[in-house]
């Protein structure tokens, strides 16, 4: 299958920190990707490199099969409004939309107008006077109405109220249904966007620690709730990733899937089975990656002392 983005061994370091560490990625067309990770994990840096707004130290980026740097053919099919996007001083949202319409050939003015009403955005006020949420709305509207083949949303929900966030998610799914394209949604609010995502990429300290289908990630673990003894016996021999105890009750998350027989057994034992949320899995994966990191640095420091 043709890929939209191919990344090979991409690395980028700033003076005191590593922002990206040998990243390898491949994104397919017409899917919604979640780029998840903590603040400072390297999400924005990665997107900057993919859109040739920033420069890697080493590695290779191919978008639509070509190097995006100064490549009109490639860039004209991409939209990336960063979270801290700057606008000309005197510009109002209306000016920004009019500018965007000049450059995105699929720009839909009608959609932009509808979104303006959804977000109740004052289009005539200069952008520098807008609130954080309204500023995010400007970026979201450009991102959606551009209908670019490859659209990046960089933490688009910052400052948006709950209603506006829901509207954004709804409009995104709606428009994506009508005009499929590749969407990369960077976020650290995982639960909120979990239902939208078809594929999940988790980045931590510049490394990709998870890159899989949202469905298979959700199916990769399960939670059992019940009396602590019974849960313990039931999960004998399985890899446990998390345990919560309340009095004699336990809620334990284990890796893997359950066969039908095992499910029946659980029901007979009076145990409740629950799916694991994407957020829980990502959080645990990130913590355990950090733990491994800690372990590794401990051994290396031991080696040094030796």
Residues near other proteins (CB under 8 A): 48, 51, 53-55, 70-72, 75-82, 85-92, 95-96, 98-100, 102-104, 142, 148
**Closest to other proteins by CB, 1 or 102:** 102
Instruction: State in angstroms the smallest separation of the CB of 101 from other proteins.
Output: 10
**Closest to other proteins by CB, 54 or 232:** 54
Listed in sequence order, the DSSP H helices in 179-247 are 190-193, 214-218, 228-234
**Closest to other proteins by CB, 50 or 266:** 50
d(CA 102, CA 76): 11
Instruction: State in angstroms the smallest separation of the CB of 74 from other proteins.
Output: 9
d(CA 155, CA 282): 17
Instruction: State in angstroms the smallest separation of the CB of 146 from other proteins.
Output: 8
Is residue 291 left, alpha or beta, with left meaning phi > 0 and alpha meaning psi from -120 to 50?
alpha
Return contacts of 261-266, CB within 8 angstroms, 24+ apart: 265/234, 266/224, 266/234
Instruction: State in angstroms the smallest separation of the CB of 12 from other proteins.
Output: 11
Q: Is the dihedral of CA 245, 246, 247, 249 positive or negative?
A: negative
**Closest to other proteins by CB, 142 or 282:** 142
Instruction: State in angstroms the smallest separation of the CB of 292 from other proteins.
Output: 32
Q: Which two tokens stand for residue 297?
A: 């640095």
**Closest to other proteins by CB, 89 or 110:** 89
Instruction: State in angstroms the smallest separation of the CB of 159 from other proteins.
Output: 18
Residue with tokens 């995010």: 136
**Closest to other proteins by CB, 136 or 253:** 136
Q: Which two tokens stand for residue 158?
A: 């910052």
d(CA 46, CA 56): 9
d(CA 208, CA 210): 6
């Amino acid at each position: 299958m043709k890929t939209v983005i191919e990344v090979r061994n991409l690395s980028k370091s700033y003076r005191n920190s590593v922002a990206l560490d040998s990243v390898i990625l491949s994104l397919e067309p017409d899917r919604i990707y979640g780029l998840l990770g903590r603040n400072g994990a390297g999400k924005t840096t990665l997107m900057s490199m993919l859109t040739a707004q920033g420069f890697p130290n080493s590695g290779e980026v191919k978008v639509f099969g070509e190097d995006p740097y100064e490549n009109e053919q490639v860039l004209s099919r991409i939209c990336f409004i960063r979270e801290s996007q700057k606008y000309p001083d005197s510009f109002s949202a209306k000016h920004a939309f009019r500018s965007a319409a000049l450059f995105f050939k699929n720009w839909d003015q009608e959609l932009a107008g509808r979104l303006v009403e959804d977000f109740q955005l004052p289009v005539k006020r200069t952008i520098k006077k807008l609130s954080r949420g309204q500023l995010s709305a400007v970026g979201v509207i450009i991102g959606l109405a551009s209908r670019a083949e490859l659209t990046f949303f960089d933490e688009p929900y910052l400052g948006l109220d709950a209603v506006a966030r829901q509207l954004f998610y709804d409009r995104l799914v709606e428009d994506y249904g009508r005009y499929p394209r590749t969407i990369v949604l960077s976020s650290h609010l995982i639960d909120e966007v979990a239902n939208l995502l078809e594929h999940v990429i988790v980045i931590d300290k510049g490394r990709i620690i998870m890159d899989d289908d949202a469905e298979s990630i959700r199916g990769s673990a399960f939670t059992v709730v019940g009396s602590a003894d019974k849960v313990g016996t039931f999960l004998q021999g399985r890899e446990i990733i998390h345990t919560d105890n309340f009095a004699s009750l336990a809620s334990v998350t284990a890796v893997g899937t359950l066969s039908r027989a095992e499910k029946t057994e659980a029901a007979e034992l009076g145990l409740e089975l629950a799916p694991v949320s994407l957020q829980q899995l990502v959080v645990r994966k990130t913590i355990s990656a950090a733990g491994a990191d800690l372990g590794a640095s401990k051994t290396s420091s031991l080696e040094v002392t030796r």
